[in-house]
Amino acid sequence: MGDLFSEIKNKVKRHFPSIVFPEALDERIVEAASQLSQDEVVKPILIGNKEEILDKAREIGVSFKDVEIIEPKSYPFFDEVVAAFIERRKGKETEETAREKLLDANYFGTMLVYLDKADGLVSGAVHSTGDTVRPALQIIKTQPGIKKTSGVFIMVKEDKKFVFGDCAINISPTSEELAEIAIATAETAKVFDIDPKVAMLSFSTKGSASSIETQKVSQATKLAQAARPDLVIDGEFQFDAAFVPAVAQKKAPDSPLKGEANVFIFPSLESGNLGYKIAQRLGGYEAIGPILQGLNRPVNDLSRGCNVKDVYKLALITAMQSVNQKVLG
């Protein structure tokens, strides 16, 4: 699992949080839930029919140690969940539509997190990102001061760790949204014991080029700095000026980053997606994520091409986010 995940495991184990898996009949989910329960790292909560889930476990040759299985339609407190959902949606759901939606595993699982019956949720092995994120935005919602959620990757290679964002959600963020993303990503970095030094990326360094695109990043930098003067955030930067001390000395000698940035904020989803994949495929970095940030409680989205190891790791990350939120909260 590597040093990063050994550290996360040790921290998470002490708290033993519960993580909801709405896609409980998927073989990858069942196997990962088995491993998590056997390792006593988190308590998996599987949503679905108990007999079918246990049959699937037997079919693939795994067993559970401490796993809770909940079927929404036979859940003894289903009426309470329905009432809480209607209240949370503030007139946007009738009792009939609420009952129908809460038979959906993603909606039901998200409500368990909202009602503190679980500490986080991992989905997306079968469902689309929208199916995973939509219930979270409607029920859990974003943290105060955050208008949109965003998605980051932890890039890991040997003892090196960096955070790239937003690489998953916002296609063309405004200056205000970029500032929010920068602040949220700095906080995510802290969860993984990274002292954040945030570079706002562009094709210009400190006004070396001027366009609508560079001005957007420059304005985002000012907004982020004003909102969080306690954080080291600077821009706009070309990647080399943010990452290579010798280049930084020439292009931005007065910057507090000094070519030692470890958190990189991309100006668009296009550049973020390209950036993390180039680092992954050409640079040999492991890309862990996407990790969703800005929500009141942790919900994370798997790739539909994920494997068992990916599910296990994202569950650990979700658990770590939960532990961190409780410690800070």
Q: What is the pLDDT of residue 1?
A: 45
62 with 175, same domain?
Answer: no
73 with 125, same domain?
Answer: yes
Q: For residue 70, what are the β-bridge partners? A: 47
Instruction: Over range 252-266, report the average pLDDT.
Output: 96
pLDDT (tens digit, 9 = 90+) per residue, 178-226? 999 999 999 999 988 899 999 999 999 998 999 999 999 999 999 999 9
Provide the percentage of residues in the chain whose pLDDT is more than 70: 98
Residue 301: which of 130, 69, 144, 142 has the closest Cα? 130
Q: For residue 207, what are the β-bridge partners? A: none
Instruction: Over range 15-23, report the average pLDDT.
Output: 95
Question: Alpha-carbon distance 128 to 303, whole Å?
Answer: 8
Does 291 map to a domain?
no
108 with 204, same domain?
Answer: no
Q: Is the pLDDT of residue 283 over 50?
A: yes
pLDDT (tens digit, 9 = 90+) per residue, 73-91? 999 999 999 999 999 999 8
Does 292 map to a domain?
no
Q: What is the pLDDT of residue 2?
A: 54
Q: Is 162 helix (H, G, I), strand (E, B) or coil?
A: strand
- Exposed e or buried b for every residue in 28-41, given b needs 16+ CB within 10 A? bbbbbbbbbbeeeb
Mean residue pLDDT of the chain comes to 93
User: Which CATH number belongs to the domain containing residue 187 in this structure?
Assistant: 3.40.50.10750
User: Which CATH number belongs to the domain containing residue 125 in this structure?
Assistant: 3.40.50.10950
Q: What is the pLDDT of residue 327?
A: 66
pLDDT (tens digit, 9 = 90+) per residue, 29-57? 999 999 999 999 999 999 999 999 999 99
Q: What is the pLDDT of residue 272?
A: 96
Beta strands in 36-181, from DSSP E residues, in sequence order: 43-47, 68-70, 120-123, 150-157, 160-165
Q: For residue 323, what are the β-bridge partners? A: none
State the residue range of the domain holding 173. Answer: 150-286
Question: Alpha-carbon distance 67 to 299, whole Å?
Answer: 19
Residue 9: which of 33, 44, 36, 48 has the closest Cα? 36
135 with 106, same domain?
Answer: yes
Q: Is the pLDDT of residue 329 over 70?
A: no
Does 58 map to a domain?
yes
Q: Is 256 helix (H, G, I), strand (E, B) or coil?
A: coil
159 with 112, same domain?
Answer: no
Q: For residue 198, what are the β-bridge partners? A: 233, 263
Question: Alpha-carbon distance 218 to 205, whole Å?
Answer: 10
Question: Alpha-carbon distance 135 to 89, whole Å?
Answer: 11
Residue 36: which of 53, 22, 18 has the closest Cα? 18
83 with 163, same domain?
Answer: no
172 with 280, same domain?
Answer: yes
More confident residue, 210 or 305: 210
Total count of domains within the chain: 2
240 with 266, same domain?
Answer: yes
156 with 227, same domain?
Answer: yes
229 with 269, same domain?
Answer: yes
Q: Is the pLDDT of residue 328 over 90?
A: no
105 with 165, same domain?
Answer: no
108 with 172, same domain?
Answer: no
Instruction: Over range 252-256, report the average pLDDT.
Output: 94
Residue 165: which of 148, 142, 146, 184 has the closest Cα? 184
**Residue 297 binned pLDDT confidence (cut-offs 50, 70, 90):** very high
More confident residue, 325 or 79: 79
- How far CA 149 is from CA of 172, 246, 313, in Å, comes to 13, 35, 21
Instruction: Over range 137-153, report the average pLDDT.
Output: 90
- Strand order from edge to edge, sheet including 160-165: 232-237, 197-201, 263-265, 160-165, 150-157, 286-293
